[in-house]
Chain A
């Protein structure tokens, strides 16, 4: 097994970071001097450093394209188009979420919605259990009509069993 500990090659020692700093020019002069000689003679370090320097050179020579005057307008128009393409409910939801923040957390929204629904139902539905005082009942079921009919028959029977004098008296 080859002993790499005493080797002068940073690649063999697994210290590529030294080479990176060497390429970037951030290595101290006392470290950089001996490394110059090693890199020139090392078949592993030389190509690695060459490639690294090519990358640095490419980065240094890269110039950012200037932004045109229409860029901002085009970007905003594109954002607007994408916004328009989203469903209405989603836009409202996001706006409300932005405005109300944590209040629209589902853990708050679900019970609050259930409560609101209960109130709406309570306020709009006719209460089937409540009978207002003095309210005239105008609905009669078939069974009730029969009861009324029977009561009228009984009333007629009672009337017919009384003599006409009773009628005169009252």
Chain B
């Protein structure tokens, strides 16, 4: 009986020690994988990406370098928009990706810059304002019905 009590006491002490040891230092926020990748030293990043197919790897490296070259405020602005985008429902995210692809594929190259400007303006308007602007003679003159409809849909789905 004394032996059993001794064993139980030792295991209780052991359990307490384990509990203290295994307790997290603080509820740390898990960084997004992109954030981890950005924080890596070039050689670490090279090691992480080396097993990727070359084309995808090159694309990732170019995009990472482009982001690194941006001004700090620009980085902050784009990361904020990305964060808002990532908080959208997956189906909304998917819808916006489809619309963006359609924009790139269907909008003639000469109109794309104007389309981007129009999109930025439309995003800042409420639905009624968007309808008014998109129905204006100026917009009708510059964009086809399909293009204006695309801009409307995109403006509605864009994150802040």
Identify the A interface with B (CB < 8 A).
107-108, 111-112, 114-115, 118-119, 122, 127, 129-133, 136-138, 140, 144-145, 147-149, 151-167, 170
- Asked if residues A158 and B82 are in contact (CB atoms below 8 Å), the reply is yes
Identify the B interface with A (CB < 8 A).
3, 6-7, 10-11, 13-14, 17-18, 21-26, 28, 31-34, 36-37, 39-40, 44, 48-49, 52, 56, 59-60, 63-64, 67, 71, 73-74, 77-79, 81-82, 85-86, 93, 96-97, 100, 103-104, 113, 116-117, 119-120, 154, 158-159
- Asked if residues B74 and A167 are in contact (CB atoms below 8 Å), the reply is yes
- Asked if residues B22 and A130 are in contact (CB atoms below 8 Å), the reply is yes
Known: A118-B17, A157-B97, A159-B78. A131 touches B10 (CB 8 A): no
Q: A166 vs B70: C-alpha distance in the bound complex, in angstroms?
A: 12
Secondary structure at the B interface, as helix, strand, loop or mixed, is: helix
- Asked if residues B36 and A137 are in contact (CB atoms below 8 Å), the reply is yes
- Asked if residues B56 and A149 are in contact (CB atoms below 8 Å), the reply is yes
Nearest CB of chain A from residue B5's CB, rounded to whole Å = 11
Q: Which residues of B contact A133 (CB under 8 A)?
A: 25-26, 28
Partner of A118, one of B18, B103, B119: B18
